[in-house]
Amino acid sequence: MNVFVADKLPQESINELGTLVENVENRPSATASEMDGGLGEAQVLVVRSTVVSKECINNSPNLALIVRAGAGVNTIDREAASNAGIYVANCPGKNSIAVAELTMGLIVSLDRRLADNVIDFREGKWNKAAYGKADGLYGKVIGIVGLGGIGREVVKRAKAFGMQVIAWSRSLTPARAEEMDIAYAETVEQVASECDILSVHLALNPETEQIISREILSNLRDGALFINTARAGVVDEDALFEEVRSGRIRAGLDLLSDEPEVKQGPVESRFQELDDAYVSHHIGASTRQAQLAVASDAVDIIRGYIHEGKVRNWLNRCEHTEAPWKLVVRHYDKPGVIANVMNELKKADINAQELENVIFEGKKTACCTIQLDADPSQQVLSNIRERRNEVISATLVPGEN
């Protein structure tokens, strides 16, 4: 087993991987373009933010598992992975505290203009008159869009600052909001119109792409702060740029749509010209605590795959195959039994889309459940049932779909 690590992981985790597999190719500076040529003999790929393209997948014939050492997997071509029979897994929830801490850091920094303080000081300028006019955060209303692990951690920290919280999430109910002691919003528009600070914490998918639209941003009060430590694609970046440039709102951003792919190098962005935009270098999950937790989880997923053949947090599994029939075969636990059943189905041109075989105590009998894409004829069922030395019973039942 060979593992290719395309982003920086703590050395402790690299060492642990080395105890599990024959070879660990640790390439923390690997770029997407370099990986497009293929990963050689690697069966497992571990990434954080590096893009895994269709080309990379198609040129890596041995690849069987991609582990995203983090939550979002929008940088991985899941369709290409699924078409190639490659597992895609992630490590959600392990960096929630780190991202929440950065969120609060950006809020404080914008309110106190800390970055400008430091820049002026380093340039030999003292400007207490300008920088001593912060509003303060106590009593302000923070609007949170998305109450997953990160959003909930932001709620805790905002309350510690004495802030009021209003939130929207697809899973949030009025009753749950009352339990959390926060205000419930029916829409994202309501959150934006009632808050002083808007912070978004959503995964990027077709439903959330540009959910922070031009209209949402226009609902923000003059002088409001907008924070994005989620994904660049959840906000209409053109509209955000215009709002910040106008001076109406200020923004703290940990990610941009045009940020560099490389870990270190030059950067050019239109947001550089905006005094009211504070941009960190996509470091939300990049604390040592978070990296250790995420990397340990990634290693654990690989361990399960190697030792048990199971992939925890498997994301690209088809939840419903739409197979209309289910064949339940109780059988003796002997070599070749399932193969003979499958051969009967093959001769009838029936595809087995899912199969689960479980063993009874004593290890003499078992039960195999097979999801079928077509209705087997009575002759096929008879052929299976007539294997008296192998099959106890064969029952056909309608599938759940």
Q: Which residue among the candidates 259, 303, 312, 387 is catalytic per the annotation?
A: 259
By three-state DSSP, how is residue 65 classified? strand
Cα 2 from Cα 46, distance rounded (Å): 11
Exposure b/e, 47-81, CB count within 10 A at least 16 = b: bbbbbbbebbbeebeebbbbbbbbbbbebbbbebb
Cα 314 from Cα 87, distance rounded (Å): 7
320 in catalytic set: no
Q: Which residue among the candidates 282, 331, 344, 390 is catalytic per the annotation?
A: 282
Query: What 8-state DSSP symbol labels residue 152?
Result: H
Q: Is the dihedral of CA 84, 87, 93, 98 positive or negative?
A: negative
231 in catalytic set: yes
Q: Which residue among the candidates 113, 152, 231, 331 is catalytic per the annotation?
A: 231
Region class of 265: left (phi > 0), else alpha (psi between -120 and 50), else beta: left
Cα 81 from Cα 67, distance rounded (Å): 12
Cα 167 from Cα 179, distance rounded (Å): 13
Tell me phi and psi for residue 381, to 5 degrees.
-65, -40
By three-state DSSP, how is residue 54 classified? helix
288 in catalytic set: no
Cα 369 from Cα 357, distance rounded (Å): 6
What are the residue numbers of the active site? 231, 259, 282
